[in-house]
Amino acid sequence: MNLAPSSLAPPAPDPLAVTRFVQAQMGAGGAPLSRGTQSRVYLYQDQSGRYVIKTPRDGLVGACIGRWMMLREWHIYQRLEGLAGVPRCHGLIDGRYLLLDFVDGETFRSAQHRLTADDPFFDRLGRLITALHARGVAHTDLKRKDNLLVLADGTPCLIDFGAAIQRRQGPLSRTLFLMGRQFDRNAWIKLKYKGYRGVSPDDLHHLRRLPIERVSHWIKRRLRHLRRAAMKHRGSDQP
């Protein structure tokens, strides 16, 4: 049994117990807390606390890609260790089970209706994003509102670093990191103002929409238009 630990040693579950739990859940077809393209997330609890376990998907290809992604994400959490607003990572068990503290918070998707642009939450989120970048990590997926939690005290917490980019040596890596950093800044603007209109002059200098974002936005708009047209067409065919 191989547990790649964090440099700190906070209370954490026994790795054997975690492995048995995950295997039992997958063998019995237990429902995960959430699932993505390459991973599943399970909720685990023992006497030391509550945790989430991120695991690769089934299948040879999915498992291979998933293990690589778990390892990559574990390295990112190592960079972010001790940063408030990021869940503590307790290690990578058997090279495939990423063990994280469970964070009890409301998703931004659910909370956004009551958060106005002048809410202190957004200043805190901006500072958290800046701290993230200072550690050499860009999240890149903050526009997905389930990746941002609003805690009971009004502070933000970022989760799911599966798409994050690390700053490394080499021109390509630096370019990708700079793009990811701008993705995060643009996402902060979009979350705060619920779009890109009405941005204050103080915040406007953070905004620089990249060509890839503009193309992605255009594609999404076209797909929405096509879906609405298809639904309207189906409705007109009803007797």
At residue 131, the pLDDT reads 98
Helix, strand, coil percentages for the chain (3-state, nearest 5): 45, 20, 35
C-alpha 147/C-alpha 141 separation (Å) is 7
Q: Domains plus CATH for the chain?
A: 3-101 (3.30.200.20), 106-219 (1.10.510.10)
C-alpha 80/C-alpha 236 separation (Å) is 54
Q: pLDDT category, 32, cuts 50, 70, 90?
A: confident
Q: pLDDT category, 4, cuts 50, 70, 90?
A: very low
At residue 3, the pLDDT reads 42
At residue 58, the pLDDT reads 72
At residue 104, the pLDDT reads 95
Helix (H) / strand (E) element for 126: namely: helix 120-134
Top-confidence residue, 74 or 214:
74
| Residues β-bridged to residue 50 | 45
At residue 33, the pLDDT reads 83
Query: 160: left (phi > 0), else alpha (psi -120 to 50), else beta?
Result: left
Q: Residue 78: how many CB atoms within 10 A of its CB?
A: 15
Helix (H) / strand (E) element for 239: namely: none
Q: Return the amino acid letter for 144.
A: R
Q: How does pLDDT run across 97-147, given as a tens digit for each residue?
A: 999 999 999 999 999 999 999 999 999 999 999 999 999 999 999 999 999
Q: Residue 191: how many CB atoms within 10 A of its CB?
A: 21
Mean pLDDT across 34-48? 85
How many angstroms from the chain centroid is the CA of residue 116? 22
CA distances from 208 to 26, 58, 148, 189, 212 (A): 44, 39, 21, 10, 12
At residue 65, the pLDDT reads 85
C-alpha 158/C-alpha 148 separation (Å) is 5
At residue 238, the pLDDT reads 58
Mean pLDDT of the chain: 87
- CB burial of residue 102 (10 Å; 0-12, 13-18, 19+): middle
The answer to whether 103 and 150 are in contact (CB under 8 A) is: no
